[in-house]
Structure 1
Amino acid sequence: MQIRVGYELLYAFPRPTPVILTLSIHYSRVSDLVRPDHMLTSPPIPIRSYRDAFGNWCSRIVAPAGRLKISADTLVNDTGAPDVVATQAEEHPVDSLPEETLVFLLGSRYCETDLLSETAWCLFGQSPPGWGRVQAICDFVHRHIAFGYEFACPTKTAWEVFNERKGVCRDYAHLAIALCRCMNIPARYCTGYLGDIGVPPPHGPMDFSGWFEAYIGGQWHTFDARNNVPRIGRVLIARGRDAADVAISTTFGPNTLETFRVWTDEITRPLA
Structure 2
Amino acid sequence: MEIKVGFDITYAAVQPTPMVIMLSIHPSRRSDIIGAETITAEPNVPIGFYRDSFGNICGRLVAPAGGVTLRGHALVRDSGLPDAVNPDAEQVPIDQLPDDLLLYLMASRYCETDKLTDIAWSLFGATKPGWARVAAICDFVHNHVAFGYQHAHFMKSAHDVYEQGTGVCRDFAHLALTFCRCMNIPARYCTGYMGDIGIPPEPEPMDFSGWFEAYLSGQWYTFDARHNHPRIGRILMGTGRDAADVALTTSFGRMELKKFVVISDEVVAV
Q: TM-score normalised by the shorter chain: which range applies?
A: over 0.9
SS of the aligned residue for 1:66 comes to coil
Q: Which runs of 5+ in 1 are unaligned?
A: none
Once the two structures are superposed, what CA deviation does each residue of 1:206-240 show, in whole Å capped at 9, x if it has no partner? Answer: 10000000001111100000100000000000000
Once the two structures are superposed, what CA deviation does each residue of 1:140-184 show, in whole Å capped at 9, x if it has no partner? Answer: 000000000111111100000110100000000000011000000
Structure 2 partner of 1:88? 88
Q: Which runs of 5+ in 2 are unaligned?
A: none
Structure 2 partner of 1:8? 8
- Looking at structure 1, the residues matched to 266 and 145 of structure 2 have their Cα atoms a distance apart, in angstroms, of 29
SS of the aligned residue for 1:173 comes to helix
User: Displacement of 1:52 after TM fit?
Assistant: 0.3
Return the letter of the residue paired with 2:81: A
- Looking at structure 2, the residues matched to 202 and 260 of structure 1 have their Cα atoms a distance apart, in angstroms, of 17
1:224 maps to 2:188: no
1:75 maps to 2:64: no
Q: Percent same amino acid at aligned positions?
A: 57
- Report which stretch shifted further, 135-144 or 95-104: 95-104
Structure 1 partner of 2:44? 44
Once the two structures are superposed, what CA deviation does each residue of 1:247-269 show, in whole Å capped at 9, x if it has no partner? Answer: 00011000100100000000012
SS of the aligned residue for 1:58 comes to strand
Give the paired residue count.
270
Structure 1 partner of 2:266? 266
Query: TM-score of the superposition, structure 1-length normalised?
Result: 0.98
8 Å contact kept, 1:45–1:61? yes
| 1:1-272 paired onto structure 2 within 5 Å | 1-269=1-269
Once the two structures are superposed, what CA deviation does each residue of 1:4-59 show, in whole Å capped at 9, x if it has no partner? Answer: 00001000011111100000000111111012222111110011111000000000
- Looking at structure 2, the residues matched to 246 and 57 of structure 1 have their Cα atoms a distance apart, in angstroms, of 10
Once the two structures are superposed, what CA deviation does each residue of 1:90-129 show, in whole Å capped at 9, x if it has no partner? Answer: 0111111111111100000000000000000000000111
- Looking at structure 2, the residues matched to 94 and 176 of structure 1 have their Cα atoms a distance apart, in angstroms, of 19
Aligned-residue CA RMSD (Å): 0.9
- Looking at structure 1, the residues matched to 202 and 106 of structure 2 have their Cα atoms a distance apart, in angstroms, of 38
